[in-house]
A and B are shown apart, each in its own frame.
Chain A
Amino acid sequence: MTRWLLWLLGGVLLGGIVHLATVLWLPRTATQDAYSRLVPVTEVNAVTALPEAAPDKMSLPYMDPAFATAICRYDLSQGPLKLSLNVSQAYTSVSFYTRYGSAYYAINDRAAGRRLIELELMTEQQHNEMPEEEDVTAADRLIVESPTVTGIIVMKALAPEPGLLPMARAALATGRCRPQPQS
């Protein structure tokens, strides 16, 4: 009897390990995560406008239908990326996600403080390899480090009323994301 209780205890402990391992391992096996859903409808290192959210065509679940949304799915393996976007009249934001959907940086029009959101995205390694003098002149350049080589940039512009959606879409149409020529 005691022997079986010990086996049970061992099983439960092992179960705890199985639980933690599966939770940590699950994001790497997911086939329906945001990145996988966006692969068929977006290009790499280019801006793609997502269709307006509607009951029968949701690009991603829980999208906010009050926003026009555009995606830049990036791959930094060939070098850093430069992103620019004119802000709309209402509210504009740019959010950065890793390959596994963790938000690591987000900036809105007010934080950018200008009519243009402009920044450079690179891996930590690429940032470290930047020539030093370039870093000094880079004082007013906004540099964002991506924890993963690939990931997703979401650009959003709010349409405060449904009639203003064309305005929001027009603002997003100015969005650019392209690999930087390497110096």
Chain B
Amino acid sequence: MRFFLGTLFAFAVAATVGLGATWLSLSRGSAFGAVSIGAWTAWPRTGTVGIDPYARAMIARTGELPVGVGDGVAFYAQADDRGQNFDGRCDVDITGITPTARFWTLTLYDQEGKLVANSINRYGFTSQELIRNSDGSFAIRVGPRARSGNWLPTGGVGHYILVLRLYDTPVGAATRAGREAPMPAITTRECA
């Protein structure tokens, strides 16, 4: 009887610990090989055959197809440079320059990876359609209110995610932060 109870107890612990750890690692995002530059994080290995089992399980769950390494690399941001989570009711400025790439795109998604509906049907920018300063740098305002210049509307959604994708770029798994890969700064301004 004692043995039976012990086994039952051990199995209960195993199920809780095992399934709990799986759920946690997949919902929080725990793929290996992350490259973090400022508020931006990429997982270049996710776009190769060397993808780790956690990333593979995560992709199977969300249904996305990661950007292949011969194609480009995707940087994700969920919060500004000070760690404050994005809020669609706040104005956020994205300023600076991007690493070397033939093209890049910046896109705003909700937490499920869907585009966010807005009045001007703008879901992001490509490197070609931005209005830039004379030195090549740019400023994009992400916020709920219309504004002249580079305005990326949030549609008043709650939490959102920004994805900066570099296409045909030398940036990859071996890239380290700094001059090699200067990512734009993200600053939260006032909130509505």
List A residues at the B interface (Cβ < 8 Å): 3-4, 7-8, 10-24, 26-27, 30, 32-34, 36-37, 53-56, 58, 60-62, 64-66, 90-91, 93, 95-97, 100-108, 110-111, 147, 152, 154, 156, 158-162
Bound-state CA distance A164–B64 (Å) is 25
Bound-state CA distance A53–B14 (Å) is 43
A30 adjacent to B61 (CB under 8 Å): yes
A22 adjacent to B22 (CB under 8 Å): yes
Q: How far is the CB of B158 from chain A (nearest CB, A)?
A: 15
Residues of B within 8 A of A12 (CB): 13-14, 17
User: How many of B's residues come within 8 Å of A, CB to CB?
Assistant: 62
A-B contact count (CB 8 A): 208
Bound-state CA distance A92–B71 (Å) is 9
Residues of A within 8 A of B70 (CB): 93, 95, 105-108, 111
B57 adjacent to A16 (CB under 8 Å): no
Bound-state CA distance A159–B126 (Å) is 9
B167 adjacent to A108 (CB under 8 Å): yes
**8 Å CB contacts to A: which residues of B111-142?**
112-117, 123-124, 126-129
B66 adjacent to A7 (CB under 8 Å): no
Task: List 16 A–B pairs whose Cβ atoms lie within 8 Å, in order of A's numbering.
Answer: A7-B9, A8-B13, A11-B13, A27-B57, A27-B59, A33-B63, A53-B123, A101-B66, A102-B48, A102-B56, A102-B59, A108-B70, A110-B102, A111-B70, A159-B126, A162-B129
A158 adjacent to B69 (CB under 8 Å): no
Bound-state CA distance A53–B128 (Å) is 19
